[in-house]
Every structure is written in structure tokens, then in C-alpha cells.
Structure 1
Amino acid sequence: MKNIDYFNGKVILVIGLAKSGLAAGKLLHKLGAKVVVNDQKPLAENLQALELQQLGVEVICGGHPLSIFERDFDLVVKNPGIPYSNPLIQKAVEKGISVVTEIEVASIISEADMIAITGSNGKTTTTTLIYEMLEGSNRVPLIAGNIGTVACEVAEKASVENVLVTEVSSFQLMGTQQFHPKIAVFLNLFDAHLDYHGTRQDYGIAKAKIFANLTEEDFCVVNADDSEVMMLAQNIVGQKLLFSVKNYVENGAYIEDRFIYFQNEKIIAIEEIVLPGAHNLENILAAICAAKLAGATTKRIVEVLTTFAGVKHRTQFVTTINNRKFYNDSKATNMLATKVAVSAFDEPIILLAGGLDRGNEFDELIPTLKKVKGVVLYGETASKLEKAAKVAEVSFIKIVNTVTEAVSTAYEHSECGDVILLSPACASWDQFKTFEERGETFIKAVYDLEK
């Protein structure tokens, strides 16, 4: 770690626990801060708060009382999911207290250079690809961030011999001030999380904070095919590499005659890549740029691309039952992700979809639904998705109560050669705590069906 005295003696309020809040609270306490933790869940049923309390951290649970601000704080570290409309966050801003997320803490203390990856879709796949490509290089890669491992927890143990490959969301980036990756990757920008950010413009601005502290010695990797991303990266400091699936780029990665190139070096034929889906070519090009900048060899990159078949919950192959292939794409929490997943297959598809109702309609999904054989819908959005499926004239439409029911119903209406795809187009929070839990439920239901 570096800057180990940075937080010493500071009074810091951590709002919201889960994995990031617990890790931040423990680390800040260890670094000598006076930490106060506030969480909505009552203390008696809050194992994370109890763990912090046993370490000597003050915990206030069961609500978010404004009386917390009767004392003075130097800093607020908030869970990324807590909106800025939260009264405690508004009070902190009103009092002029900096509000950050734990990746800010990670950036301050990390001795390892950081590669940060953001975008509306493809972050996890790209992050994992970069990590795998850097295995065996001169610097040992560590993986962290929104991918599931808390960044500040990993940064605490990282040294200059490591490189920290970090997936970062717009929620996390909004809460940054000094966040400084060595390599910043911006994949794409589509409508997502507008209930949190308010407008697409504000969403893009939040994402673009990944570039805010780059210097002339740093690098950014930018999607040349996305005009909004290019605009957001227009005036940044840092050396810019581009990637494009459509056109030649002089400095970066591109496709020509069915081969992938990096800075005019032929890397691999597209036919040799095992990761399914045309959409993943963008992720692969971005990963090659970042990995090459960080020291990956072409040999290792080729090894990864000829063996890496995907990330769990991201168009993940589960199994084949009586010539029906089952895929888990639980990470598809928005319509764009579902569009991308459906486009990855040439076979007839039975789509399982539904989840949290954020108030939107699904008209945007109608062209995609026209390409599927049938839909099995569940959750709060089932009736809205049914409406879109009827407009798309989907052959059969079924509504069930649960993901488990959806699996058996889809199988009953399937034929040999079909793909049964969970790609919900919605967040999971109506029935599940996380998209991972939803995906695991799907996988279990598939294996139970196989038995």
C-alpha cells in the first residue's frame, strides 16, 4: 500500500454495507480512521455490521437518521447503489463533505498500476479477458471491482509488481475525485441506469470520469465506432488508442480480411476465436489494446482467445439436454444486453425474460423478439414483456411465476436444436438479491431438469 497515512485520524462515515462497505470500513479502520458505519438493515440481523462492531467500529443500523450529521465528518464513503437523492447523501453535499465510493479509496492506496474498464455492456468480459491475457507477463495481474471482488480489498495487498484490472460502473465513477488508472478503457454507451442518473447525458458524464485524472504518461482505450464515447474522450489528457470492428485504425486494434490486428500486427483469425457472439469482437479488440499496453505477449493473447469461452452469467453455456442448449445470460439487466445475447445465435431461441419493473416499456425490444421462437416471462415486468412479444408476433408466449418454472416450461415447448436462453432484459431485484443469484437459480433448475 501507499499513502497509508492519508486516512489516519480522519472521521469517515461509511453509508451502506454489502461487500464494498464492509471492505472499506475494515480497511479505513485499519488505516487509523475514526469510522462510523450506517446501514439500513437492523443490527441484530446484520452480520457485516456486527463484524465491524467487534473490530471497534461504531455502527448505526436500522435506518439513515440525519442526526448522524450532528458530528463532523471529513469524508463519506457510500455504497455505489445508494442514489444521490438519499437524504444522508444530500446532507453531506450540503455540508460540503466529499462523497466517494470505495474505488476512490482503492486508487489512493494502490501501489499497483490500475487498468479500469467501463461501458454500458461488455465490462466483465473485457475485464476478464485482460486479466487472462496478462497471466504470465512481467507483472502479476489482479482482478477487482464491480466484477465481484472489492477493489480496495485487492489494492490493500497489491504491490508494484502487480497490475490491478478493475471493472468500474457509472455508480462507482460518480463517487470519484482522485481516481487515477494507468489505462482507462471505455467500451460503449447505451441507455442504462437512467433511473439513477436521470439523463443519458449525465450517465455519459459519470462514465467519462474514468478519464478525469489521466496524465500524458497514461493511456485510454476508446471505441472508435461509438460517436458518444469518442466525444466524451475528445479533450482528455493521455495517449489515445482506438479499436474498431468497422474500420482500420492507425493506433489500436481493428479487423481486416477476417483477421484481428493490433498496430498492424496480425494477431488471430476470427474463426479461431471460441468466445461466441459478434458483439464480443469489440470486447476482444479493447482487451487486446489494454493487455498489449500492460505487457501481454501475442502468444498469450492467442492462447486466451482460442480457449476462453465466456464469463459466468454472461451468455454462459450451461449444458445440452436432448439436443437443446441452455445458456445463462443473467447479467443482461437491460434491453441492449438482451438484444446482443439474442443476436449471438443462429439457432431458434426460446427466451426467458423478466424482472424488476423500472417503469419503462419494452418497445425497443420488439425487433429482437421477432427473431425468437418463443418467450417465457416472469417477474414484475411479465405483462409488459408480453405486450411487446404480441406486437412482435412471437409464436408462443407463456407467463410463469419463477425462473425455475420458466426453465421447465421452456423445455416443454422446445424442439431439438433449440437454444433456451435466460436473458432477462431487467434487473433481478424483484425476486433476487443479485443477478448472480438469479443465474444460479437458472443453472440449478437446468441441472434438476437434466436429472
Structure 2
Amino acid sequence: MNKFSDFPYTNVLVLGLAKSGTAAANLLAANGTRVIVNDGNANAEDENIKELARRGVKTVVGSHPLSVLEGVELVVKNPGIKYDNPVLVHALEKSIPIVTEVELVNYLTEANIIGITGSNGKTTTTTMVTEMLRNSSLPVKVAGNIGIVASETAATMLKGENLVLELSSFQLQGTKHFRPHIAVLLNIFSAHLDYHHTLENYIAAKSRIFARQTPDDFAVYNADDAVVCEAVRQSKAEKIPFSVKRRLENGVWADRDAIYFYDEKVVDRAEIVLVGEHNLENILAAVAAAKLSGASNQGIRKVLGSFNGVKHRLQYVTTVQGRRFYNDSKATNILATSKALTAFDTPTILLAGGLDRGNGFEEMLPFLKHVKAMVLFGETAHKIHDTAVKAGIEDIVFADDITDAVPKAYALSVPKDIILLSPACASWDQYKTFEQRGDMFIQAVHTLE
């Protein structure tokens, strides 16, 4: 287990536990830092609280008293905790830095850090990069927003190894000195405004991935996204653009036949099994990060010739009586659903709806030309219905939930139709996670067989 290098703090508050907070508290304690843990939802009988207490970590649970900040030099917060939490408000008033556990990564390892963020496509790209390096016989681990604690993984890694991190805006907003050697920004679309409040704040959080880079680093960015192009300007790193629209002499690009890294052909597009124009963007970004990390064309081709998507991300489920079912439950915003719709040019029945975050759905209109019917559920069902009517879709059905939506979609379909779950909304009005929503869809589809 690696020790901290040049870590400047001796008294740290960990606010919120879950996996990342527990890992951070354990790492800090193992490195001799005086740690206090505060979790408003935990209680003294929780096993992880007891274990932390046995290790000498002070724990305050059940509430958020401001006294937990006494003597504290740094707050490591759970990414999901909003900045209007009273402890965080008071910390800001006292000029105490607030970070997420991702900030600890560079203090724990000299591994080659590849950070990947964007409004959509993070997990798909992260998975492809990891597999491209693995299939090139390069040492690699994956962590971050993908469900594995970044700092905990970093503590086990050596110089010369590769750490691929999926990074959310919540994690990145809480970084001060975090520095990926390769930073990838896929796209930026209005999202998580309930957390960030404004689009400008959200963009600023995503842009943190470039903030500490140096001329020795690389910034991989989507040259087809104007917001991304503006964001990358702050990076001091060598800039590596990717584009699905034009040839780039200094980046990664595609024509009808192949994908190229600068002027080198990497893979024929006929070899690639992953569908969707948006996934072509993810592939280009993955190729850039992999090549910059030393991956071989053979390793890249092997991955692209077999990788057909990440679960819940435009995932092919099965075919029932000629109808192909796709699970895109991870599509929690309009951009993700719009991109999923562009992956198909055949009649599609769209299942959509979920948490109402206050936005409308008119931006989906240009992407509904192949949608022959819609099955709607959740808090936003009636909002999406209004957009569907504007699009001229005649078959619009309401459902109680995913389990109810699947047979209703099947009843509206004929052989060769696509039945696509791509909700354009978060799941939290009816389901704990988008994974649970997707699993319920898969289960409901298999009952039709």
C-alpha cells in the first residue's frame, strides 16, 4: 500500500461515508492523518463506523454539527453531498478547502493517470481504454465514477502502470491539485443543474480536469463540440482533438472506411461492432487515450472487434419475434437519448420518462423522425407526451413503470422494429438507480420470450 507523498494536511474531516468516504478515511488514518468522520445518515452501530472507531478515527453520526470543523484544515466530502450542506457552507466561510477523494490520487501514486469525463459516454470510453491497454499487454486498473474508489485503487499502483479514471462533475468540482497525465473531455451538455445550479458552474466543474495539466501532459477533446473547444483552451497540455466530421492532421478522426491516429490507419470501420454515431466519438477518444498510453493497433482492433457496449448503455438485450430490444437506461438526459436515437434508421418504439428536473424536451424533436410510437412513464411522462405530439407521433401510451411499459411497447411493434429504452431522465422518481431501471427492463423483455 502506497503512502502519501507531500500531503500538506494533518487534520482532515471526511464528510459522508459510502464507499469513497470510508476508503478516504481509512487511507488518511493509515498515513497518520488525524481524521474525523461525519455522516448524518449513519449511526454508531454501523459496522464501518465501528471499524473506523477501532482504528482511532473520531466519528460523529446522525447530524452535522458545525463543531466537527474545529481544527480541521481540509474537508474530503462525498461527491453527492451538495455545497449547501451547513458544514460545507461553514467550511467555505472559514476558507477551509473542500475536495473529493479523487484529490488524493496524485498524492498516492506516480502511475500514468488517464482521466475521462463528459456528459455522456464516460463509462463506455473508460471501459474501452482499459481493455485496449489490457489487450496491448500494458498494466492497467480502472476506477472512479465507474463504481471503484479512485484513491483506494491508486494506493496499490506503481510508477509505469496505468490508472483509467471515469470522473463525474461532482468529483471534479472537488479537485484542487488533481492532475491526469491524459485528460479526456467527450462532450458537454446541460445536466445536473439541480446540483450545480447553472450551466456555467457545470462547465467549470467539468473543465477542472484540465486545470492542473502541464506541457508534459495531453488534453484529448471533442473538436466537434464548441463548448468543449472553449473549455480545453485553459489546458497547458498538448492538445489532441478528435472529430467524426473532418480529417485532423494533429488528432484522431474517421472517414467512411477507417479510424486514424494522425495519418496512421488504426482500424477499419468494418471491424467495429459497436453501433451509433455517438459511440464513434467515444471510440475516437478511446483510441487517442490508448495510443498516447502506448497501446498497440492490434490490441485496439481486438477490443473494437468484440466490444458491443456497456450494460445499460445502448446494450443489445435480445430479439423477440423479429423485434430487437436495446437497454439504454444510462441515458439520463436529452443528449444521451438523442444520440441513442441516431444509432437506428429503422422504425423505433421509444420508452422514456423519469425524474422531473424542470426542463422541457423540445430538443429531442429533430431526433424523433424514426420513432413510430412512444411508451411514457414517470414524472416527466406528460411533458414528453407534449413533445411527441409536436413530432407528429400518433401512438403514445402511458405506463405505470418499466415492467408495464415493455408489453405495451411490444403490442405497438411489428417484426424488424427497434424497441428502445432510452429515458432521457434520471431514474430516482421510481428507481434507486439507472441500473435497477435497466435490470427491470431486461427482466420484463425476457418474460416476452
TM-score, normalized by length of structure 1?
A: 0.94
Given the alignment of the two structures, is residue 60 of structure 1 paired with residue 60 of structure 2, yes or no? yes
Is the Cα–Cα contact under 8 Å of residues 136 and 300 in structure 2 kept in the other structure?
no
Q: Deviations over 1:206-260 (max 9, x none)?
A: 1111111111211111211122212222242111111111112111111235221
Q: Deviations over 1:326-377 (max 9, x none)?
A: 1111111101000011111122211111111111122222333443121111
Residue 127 of structure 1, CA deviation? 0.9
Counterpart for residue 337 of structure 2? 338
> Which one is further off, 227-236 or 207-216?
227-236
Matched, 1:31 2:53: no
Letter in 2 for 1:131: T
Instruction: Say whether the 8 Å CA contact 1:144–1:154 is kept in structure 2.
Output: yes
User: Is the contact between residue 7 and residue 28 of structure 1 (CA under 8 Å) also seen in structure 2?
Assistant: no
1:368-405: CA deviation from partner (whole Å, max 9, x where unpaired): 34431211111121222222222222221122222111
**Within 2, Cα distance between the matches of 1:242 and 1:285?**
9
Preserved CA contact (<8 Å) 2:314 2:326: yes
Aligned-partner SS, 1:420 = strand
Structure 1 window deviating more from structure 2 (117-126 vs 36-45): it is 36-45
Provide the C-alpha distance between the structure 2 equivalents of 1:417 and 1:55, rounded to a whole number of angstroms: 60
Distance 1:58 1:330 in 2: 40
Pair 1:384–1:64, CA change in 2 (3 A): farther
Bigger mean CA offset, 42-51 vs 129-138: 42-51
1:263 lines up with 2:262 in the alignment = yes
- Establish whether residue 435 from structure 1 lines up as the match of residue 440 from structure 2: no
How far residue 324 of structure 1 moved from its aligned partner, in angstroms, is: 1.5
Distance (Å, rounded) in 1 between the aligned partners of 2:271 and 2:232 = 32
After TM superposition, the structure 1 stretch with the greater mean CA deviation from structure 2, 403-412 or 365-374, is 365-374
- Residue 315 of structure 2 corresponds to residue 316 of structure 1: yes
Equivalent residue for 1:178? Answer: 177
Letter in 1 for 2:15: I
1:115-154 residue pairs with structure 2 within 5 A? 115-137=114-136, 139-154=138-153
Deviation at 1:156, TM superposition (A): 1.5
Q: Is the 8 A contact 1:9 1:32 kept in 2?
A: no
Task: Provide Cα deviations, 1:65-102, integer angstroms capped at 9, x if missing partner.
Answer: 33433x22121111112122222211111111110001
Percent identity between matched residues is 53
SS in structure 2 at match of 1:394: coil
Distance 1:115 1:61, change over 3 A: same
Within 1, Cα distance between the matches of 2:345 and 2:218?
Answer: 37
1:30 to partner: Cα distance: 2.1
Q: Which amino acid aligns with 1:101?
A: T
User: Does 2:178 align with 1:188?
Assistant: no
Q: Is 1:77 equivalent to 2:83 in the alignment?
A: no
Unmatched tracts of structure 1, length 5 or more? none
Code of the aligned partner of 1:366: L
Aligned to 2:106: 107
What is the 5 A alignment of 1:51-450?
51-69=51-69, 71-137=70-136, 139-450=138-449
What is the rounded CA distance, in whole Å, between the counterparts of 2:59 and 2:396 in structure 1? 49
The root-mean-square deviation of aligned C-alpha atoms, in Å, is 2.0
Determine the C-alpha separation between the residues in 2 that align with 1:45 and 1:446: 41
Alignment partner, residue 14 of structure 1: 14
Flag the 1:6–1:446 CA change in 2: closer, same or farther, 3 A: farther
Cα contact 1:327–1:420 (8 A) shared by 2: yes
Letter in 2 for 1:394: I
> Aligned partners of 2:254 and 2:117: how far apart in 1?
22
Partners of 1:173 and 1:206 within 8 A in 2: yes
Q: Offset at 1:55? A: 4.3
Change (3 A) 1:378 1:178: same
Q: Answer whether contact 1:18 1:48 (CA < 8 A) is retained.
A: no
What is the distance in 1 between the residues matched to 2:267 and 2:156? 35
Task: Write the distance in 2 (CA, Å) between the matches of 1:61 and 1:430.
Answer: 27
Instruction: State the distance in 2 between where 1:54 and 1:379 align.
Output: 45
TM-score by length of 2: 0.94
> Which amino acid in 1 is paired with 2:325?
F
Moved more, 361-370 or 330-339: 361-370
CA, structure 1 residues 384+161, in 2 after alignment: closer, same or farther (shift >3 Å)?
same
**CA, structure 1 residues 49+366, in 2 after alignment: closer, same or farther (shift >3 Å)?**
farther
Shift of 1:54: 5.0
